[in-house]
């Protein structure tokens, strides 16, 4: 390998819950800048196989490092910093994909690019998804949508399904929960609808933070009105990422919040269904 700082470590991780830090911290700034401009290198937490929850069928998932949100419930805060990921040349990432291409097709599965936020590295994301598509692999992008405008219409066509995380409907709640404006995400949802691209909507349900009945009704009406939301996944908040906050020395504020009761999850699913959506 021409640059000794690029990773030669195995790309496959046992789980995205493994804590990974500073794996690319010594990379020259010029190399990082070029990587972001052209996508010849990606910053990746890990590849994992066998996921059945990140798109249709069994998936190979690449978890990218780097995120501009600061969700209070984030279960992978080590992925906030791009330099915590492994620096992986695009050719190596594509070679990793090709190892699984046949199996993924046989299992009616595919490849999902998740994170962190993959569009922090939009050139790398576009190149990797395009490569997967050209191998005949079903493609999914799991994104908070904030940087959706970075993808061209042609690049959107390389993505079979966008797993769009809408964190909250109310602008104030959204700002409180993630630290950023909700409008870019909603605009991206509208653009995907205009381009006829399929969305699976993901909604993390946190008691007291994202369970307000009228907000969910409004989000459900918005999503149903788009016409391209194939399903809604209501994801119950959990405490599985808490140890990472502690290890990274970041103040975690949800330690007293319990996962939502089954009745609350049911109620929220029913709200999405009442708007005409499939919700799980
Ligand atoms: S968008 Fe995802 S990775 Fe980013 S802070 Fe939120 S939960 Fe964490």
- What span, in angstroms and rounded, lies between the C-alpha atoms of 73 and 111? 25
Q: What residues have CB less than 8 Å from 259, skipping those under 6 apart?
A: 207, 236, 237, 238, 239
Q: Please write the tens of the pLDDT for every residue from 120-168.
A: 999 999 999 999 999 999 999 999 999 999 999 999 999 999 999 999 9
Question: How far, in Å, from the CA of 269 to the mean position of ligand 1?
Answer: 22
Residue 35 burial class via C-beta count within 10 angstroms: exposed 0-12, middle 13-18, buried 19 and up: buried
Nearest to 163 by CA among 222, 260, 231, 225: 231
Residue 268 has pLDDT above 70, yes or no: yes
Map tokens 């799980």 to a residue. Answer: 280
Token representation of residue 125: 């994301």
At residue 4, does pLDDT exceed 60?
A: no
44, 67, 177, 254, best to mutate for ligand 1 pocket (most atoms within 8 Å of CB): 67
Distance 212 CA to ligand 1 centre (A): 21
Instruction: Return the pLDDT at 26.
Output: 85
Q: Is 116 in the pocket of ligand 1 (CB under 6 A)?
A: yes
Kindly give the number of the ligand 1 atom that is closest to the alpha carbon of 73.
Answer: 7
The strands making up 138-143's β-sheet, listed across from edge to edge, are 86-89, 41-51, 59-64, 110-114, 138-143, 161-165, 198-205, 229-236
CA of 74 to the centre of ligand 1 (A): 5
Q: Is the CB of 70 under 6 A from ligand 1?
A: yes
More confident residue, 17 or 75: 75
Could you tell me if the CB of 79 is within 6 A of ligand 1? yes
Please indicate whether residue 115, judged by its CB atom, sits closer than 6 Å to ligand 1. yes
Q: Is 16 in the pocket of ligand 1 (CB under 6 A)?
A: no
Residue 196, pLDDT > 60, answer yes
Average pLDDT over residues 201-228: 98
User: What ranges in 22-107 are assigned the alpha helix state H?
Assistant: 29-38, 90-106
pLDDT of amino acid 1: 46
Confidence of residue 5 (pLDDT cuts 50, 70, 90): low
- Region 225-253: mean pLDDT is 95
Pick the closest to residue 87 from 174, 4, 199 (CA basis): 4
First vs last C-alpha separation in the chain: 45
Instruction: Return the percentage of the chain with pLDDT > 90, whole number.
Output: 85
pLDDT at 63 exceeding the cut of 60: yes
Retrieve residue 171's tokens: 């602008």
Q: How far is the CA of 159 from the centre of ligand 1 (A)?
A: 20
* CA distance linking residue 240 with residue 109, whole number of Å: 26
Where does the pLDDT of residue 3 fall: very low under 50, low under 70, confident under 90, or very high at 90 and above? low
CA of 2 to the centre of ligand 1 (A): 33
As given in the structure block, the two tokens for residue 159 are 């993505």
Render 182-207 in DSSP notation, one character per residue.
SHHHHHHHHHHHHTT-EEEEEEEE-T
Per-residue pLDDT averaged across 32-43, rounded? 96
Q: Is the CB of 122 under 6 A from ligand 1?
A: no
pLDDT of residue 6: 74
pLDDT of residue 14: 63
Q: What are phi and psi of 88, to 5 degrees?
A: -120, 120
User: Quick check: CB of 120 below 6 Å from ligand 1?
Assistant: no
Q: Which of 43, 64, 79 to mutate for ligand 1's pocket (most ligand atoms within 8 Å of CB)? A: 79
Percent of the chain clearing pLDDT 70 (strictly above): 96
Chain segment 96-122, per-residue pLDDT in tens = 999 999 999 999 999 999 999 999 999
In the structure, what pLDDT confidence band is assigned to residue 33 with cuts at 50, 70 and 90? Answer: very high
Q: What is the pLDDT, as a whole number, of residue 17?
A: 67
**CB of 185 closer than 6 angstroms to any ligand 1 atom:** no
Q: Quote the tokens at residue 149.
A: 């405008």
């Amino acid at each position: 390998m021409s640059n000794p700082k690029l990773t030669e470590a195995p790309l496959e991780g046992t789980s995205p819950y493994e804590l990974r830090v500073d794996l690319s911290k010594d990379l020259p700034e010029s190399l990082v800048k070029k990587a972001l401009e052209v996508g010849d290198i990606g910053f990746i937490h890990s590849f994992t196989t066998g996921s059945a929850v990140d798109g249709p069928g069994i998936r190979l998932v690449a978890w990218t490092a780097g995120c501009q949100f600061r969700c209070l419930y984030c279960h992978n805060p080590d992925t906030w910093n791009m330099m915590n990921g492994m620096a992986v040349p695009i050719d190596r990432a594509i070679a990793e994909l090709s190892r699984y291409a046949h199996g993924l097709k046989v299992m009616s599965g595919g490849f999902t690019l998740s994170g962190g936020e993959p569009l922090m590295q939009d050139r790398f994301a576009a190149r990797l998804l395009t490569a997967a598509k050209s191998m005949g692999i079903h493609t999914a992008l799991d994104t908070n949508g904030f940087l959706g405008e970075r993808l061209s219409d042609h690049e959107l066509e390389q993505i079979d399904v966008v797993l769009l995380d809408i964190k909250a409907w109310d602008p104030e709640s959204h700002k409180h929960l993630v630290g950023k404006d909700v409008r870019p995400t909603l605009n991206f949802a509208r653009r995907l609808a205009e381009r006829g691209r399929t969305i699976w909507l993901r909604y993390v349900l946190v008691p007291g933070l994202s369970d307000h009945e009228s907000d969910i009704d409004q989000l459900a009406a918005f999503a149903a009105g788009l016409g391209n939301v194939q399903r809604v996944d209501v994801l119950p908040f959990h405490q599985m990422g808490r140890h990472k906050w502690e290890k990274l020395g970041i103040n975690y504020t949800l330690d007293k919040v319990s996962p939502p009761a089954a009745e609350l999850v049911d109620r929220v699913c029913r709200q999405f269904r009442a708007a005409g959506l499939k919700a799980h």
